[in-house]
Chains A and B, each alone.
Chain A
Amino acid sequence: MEQYVFYILAAIILVFSFLTVTSRMILRAAVYLLFVLIATSGIYFMLNYNFLAAVQLTVYAGGIAVLIVFSVLLTSQLNEKMEQVSLTKALAGGLIAFAGALLTILTIVQYNFRPNGLPELEPSPREIGHAMLNYGDNGYVLPFEVISVLLLAAMVGAIIIAKRPAKLLNEDRTIIDTSYPSDKNAYTSRTKAEIDSLLK
């Protein structure tokens, strides 16, 4: 039974992963990503890591995915299809990805994994909390603190970046060469037309 559930989850993950990276509608891609993330949490559930699965659902599927959807809404025309990926690029990327995947899978298949066979540990949220704030063996207080500082920094950074006023919106300033003295054409290979098209 569990076996089939896993296969279903795996299929969801793979199919929607594929759609995420190929869909030309950006909002759909975001939704497909959400499905992948949810399916992943399903795998965590199956592995009996319930807390992790919950975190995955709340933070990833709930937070990040929503964040992405938001930013999509802020920056993109929703009913507009993204332009077709150029064939060479798709081929090159596909080839490299395929080669990498093939190599990795071959290695995985050939490798003989040996479990250590010790009794399984089923972490309860309580134990996890203890381990998180423990500074002895199997304690993770240091990474925990580091992560909290990182989160703080990220938060501050995100706010500052997002709050910065738009620098150039008037037409006579170029987007590229604000720091150069006078002759902008001397320093950039862009034509006026290109710059204009960028400004549009």
Chain B
Amino acid sequence: MTMDFQYTILIPILLFFSFVYNILWGRTRSPKIAGLISTTTILIAAVLSYYTAYQYFFNVGLVNGSYEKIIAFKMVWLHFSDTLVVDMGILLDPISIMMLVVVTTISSMVHIYSFGYMHGDDGFARFYAFLSLFSFSMLGLVVSSNIFQMYIFWELVGVSSFLLIGYYYQKPSAVAAAKKAFIVTRFADLGFLVGILLISYVTGSLDFAVLTDPNGPVMLQGASLGFMGLSVMTWALILIFIGGAGKSAMFPFHIWLPDAMEGPTPVSALIHAATMVVAGVYLVARLFPLFHIAAPNAQYVVLAVGGFTSLFAAVIAITQIDIKRVLAFSTLSQLGYMMAALGASGYGAEEGIGYTASMWHLFTHAMFKALLFLGAGSIIHAVHSNNMTDMGGLRKYMPITHITFLIGTLAIAGIPPFAGFFSKDEILVALHQSSHFWYWVEVITAGLTAFYMFRLYFNVFWGENRHYHHKPHESSLSMTFPLMFLAFMAIVSGGFFMFDFGAFISSNLVPYDIHIHWDIAGLSIFVALIGISLAAMLYLKPSGISTKMATALGPVYKATYNKFYFDEIYLFVTHKIIFNLIARPSAWFDRHVVDGFMNMLAWITNFVSGSIKGLQSGQLQHYAMSFVSGAVALALFFLYFMTR
């Protein structure tokens, strides 16, 4: 049964209009109107997305045992050549629909939340305009039918992220963070772009329908051509993965994400936790058949980078004291999980459990991480500080925030029956099937996750009661409602879909049943509980143990606290090497050597003319002398040389 999905074009377009309205006229109108317009459009988009999901999964449903890829809309945007065409299209398949739901849901919650959080801010309209722009770009990204369309929206989410991180543009640190985020991701995007170029060169197509057809000719193209021992397709996919790694802040592009917390907290929740940062994961998932079939080496890179990042970020998260940074590093860690799951996945229904798990984790993570960030926002709003050293005992003042935050923490720690447990379990299953080394890495990471999250939780809500400037109070309904909604989602999105998620999303679109592997799950619960109890021991009641441990570990602690000095390394490379060793010399070279050469030509001309100018002295006698001597010489010449 076919269905007309053309209305889906409205989902992004509405948001685009909201953006245009707010950016052009929002400043001069009442801020309330701007907020209402944005919120209304995103809510409409959310409703449309749910409707689409319902239609797609239940009305259209399975055709010959698998889900169809539906092109709901397609328009030629640009012809590069006869075969290389950039379309603007809407591709509906299980993962894009899931992303539609995730993005519109989280975005709606953030829109509502921001009514309270951003209340009274100067740039209220601007904020909502940028939120609309972001939602538009993100939705455009997830429904892309063409890799180039994806690249286009990829850049647009990058710029919305830039604008929102730099929202407090008068704060130099925010500006610096925005610039850093944009430039780092742009550098990674160069990899994406070159990857696209390679793919276009090898396959002659940019269309996902062609590129991801597992039986298509693309899977064999580019396999023969080699460069440094890897096939061209492998290189292309590694480059594309670099783009994804940049956006998902995988190691070594992770440095921008913690700094990005300079943006308003709702933005961190929306962009830097739930949606934009998973774009990299989504990209790999989108091209999954290509990764798995045409370039297994590239897929292994995905696994390794994802696995390493998850552990690396978890270690750093332990020592951070800024609550948003802790959450940022935990985001990194969880994104690493998703990447690793994709890297470990096989192709097919059962073998592709990693794929399903990754998407599932993406889904649940979006819910509980948005919840955690919004909760953190609520706390910051109340306490006016980001540092957990300024907090403690908040459970008494902010009951709703406390409960919802606890739910989120349990979810991320992987305690059943909360969402994170189920998706993380499937990821561990997938890793167990594929690589024991990375399996153990992720198990350890799970323990660390539980530890640092509960360290955060205990420090903020328990521990000793700090002295506050004014008594913290619970936030308004516009802020607590999204918290409660997301807490509800964080509970049900795992268990509720328990035996159903595989029925919706699988690597080859064929639904299958998934079930809990209690052997693996048991271990992960055990590790998580160890982490929690350790955290409780150290931080539930104020005790000096943690500081003692920190001093005992000394340099290790310091290195971890300073994020292993990656920022410094990057700073060194950009400022010392690129600025001072390339840019400054080339500017100098241009002014002095190239331009100097031109000036030298001018100088020579000037000099020569100055010298011969002496001949035109204006002195009659000089002229006369030249004239006579010339005449004499000519006479001599004609008389004595010409005649003989």
Docked complex Cα distance between A109 and B625 (Å):
25
Residues of A with C-beta under 8 A to B632: 96, 99-100, 103
| A 94-112 binary contact with B (CB < 8 Å = 1; else 0) | 0011011001000100000
Q: A96 and B625: CB pair below 8 A?
A: yes
| A92 vs B639: C-alpha distance when bound (angstroms) | 23
Q: How far is the CB of A163 from chain B (nearest CB, A)?
A: 25
CA distance A100 to B628 in the complex (A): 8
Contact with B639, one of A93, A96, A100, A103 (Cβ below 8 angstroms):
A103
By the criterion CB–CB under 8 Å, are A92 and B628 in contact? no
Nearest B residue to A95 via CB reads B629
Q: Give, as a whole number of angstroms, the nearest-CB distance from A123 to chain B.
A: 34
Within 8 A of A (CB), among B627-644: 628-629, 631-632, 635-636, 639
Cβ-closest chain B residue relative to A89: B621
Residues in A whose Cβ lies below 8 Å from that of B636: 99, 103
A97→B627 CA distance, assembly (Å)? 12
A96 touches B628 (CB 8 A): yes
Q: Among B625, B632, B636, which residue has the most Cβ atoms of chain A within 10 A? A: B632
| In the complex, chain A residues 102-131 whose Cβ is within 8 Å of any chain B Cβ | 103, 107
Residues of B within 8 A of A100 (CB): 628, 631-632
Nearest A residue (CB) for B627: A96
- Measured in the bound complex, the distance between the Cα atoms of B500 and A154 in whole Å is 122
In the bound assembly, the distance between CA atoms of A107 and B629 in angstroms comes to 17
> Which chain A residue lies CB-closest to B636?
A103
Which chain A residue shows the least CB distance to B629?
A: A96
Which residue of A has the minimal Cβ distance to B640? Answer: A103
What 1/0 flags go to A66-77 for Cβ under 8 Å of B? 000000000000
A107-B625 in contact given A96-B632, A99-B632, A100-B632 (Cβ < 8 Å) = no
Per-residue contact bits, chain A 8-41, to B (CB 8 Å; 1 contact, 0 not): 0000000000000000000000000000000000
Cα separation A100 to B629 with both chains bound (whole Å):
8
Docked complex Cα distance between A148 and B396 (Å)? 128
Q: Name the distance in Å between B49's Cβ and chain A's nearest Cβ.
A: 74
- Complex contacts, B631 vs chain A, CB 8 Å: 100
Q: Please, which residues of chain B bring their CB within 8 A of the CB of A97?
A: 628
Closest Cβ neighbor of A93 among chain B residues: B625
- Residues of chain B lying within 8 A (CB to CB) of residue A92: 625
Whole-angstrom CA separation of A99 from B628 in the bound complex: 10
Contacts of B629 in A (CB 8 A): 96, 99
CA distance A132 to B625 in the complex (A): 37
For residue A97, which residue of chain B has the nearest CB? B628
Complex-state Cα separation, A103 to B631, whole angstroms: 11
Cα distance A44–B68 in the bound complex, in angstroms: 128
Could you tell me which residues of chain A, from 157 to 184, have a CB within 8 Å of some CB in chain B? none
**Smallest CB gap from A98: residue in B:** B632
Give the chain B neighbours of A103 by CB distance below 8 A.
Answer: 632, 635-636, 639
Nearest residue in A to B626 (C-beta to C-beta)?
A: A96
Q: List which B592-643 residues lie within 8 A (CB) of chain A.
A: 625, 628-629, 631-632, 635-636, 639
User: Interface 1/0s, chain B 108-135, versus A by CB < 8 A?
Assistant: 0000000000000000000000000000
Q: How far is the CA of A31 from the CA of B396 in the complex (A)?
A: 128
Residue of B nearest to A96 (CB): B629
For the complex, give the distance between the alpha carbons of A43 and B628 in Å.
28
CA distance A158 to B382 in the complex (A): 105
How far does the alpha carbon of A57 sit from the alpha carbon of B362 in the complex, in Å?
Answer: 124
Of chain B, the residue at the smallest CB distance from A102 is B632
Least distance between B639 CB and chain A CB atoms (Å): 7
With a cutoff of 8 Å between Cβ atoms, the chain B residues found around residue A96 in the complex are 625, 628-629, 632
Q: What residue in chain B is nearest A92 (Cβ atoms)?
A: B625
Distance, CA A165 to CA B636, complexed state (A): 49
Q: Which residues of A contact B628 (CB under 8 A)?
A: 96-97, 100
Complexed CA–CA distance, A129 and B387 (Å): 126
Measured between alpha carbons, how far is A107 from B632 in the docked complex, in Å? 12
A96 to B632, CA, bound (A): 8
**Closest residue to B635 on the A side, CB-wise?**
A103
Bound: A107/B636 CA distance, A: 10
18 intermolecular pairs with C-beta atoms under 8 Å apart: A92-B625, A93-B625, A96-B625, A96-B628, A96-B629, A96-B632, A97-B628, A99-B629, A99-B632, A99-B636, A100-B628, A100-B631, A100-B632, A103-B632, A103-B635, A103-B636, A103-B639, A107-B639
Task: Show the binding face of B for A, using Cβ within 8 Å.
Answer: 625, 628-629, 631-632, 635-636, 639
Taking A92-B625, A99-B629 as given, write out 16 further A-B residue pairs in contact, using a Cβ cutoff of 8 Å, ordered by the A residue number: A93-B625, A96-B625, A96-B628, A96-B629, A96-B632, A97-B628, A99-B632, A99-B636, A100-B628, A100-B631, A100-B632, A103-B632, A103-B635, A103-B636, A103-B639, A107-B639
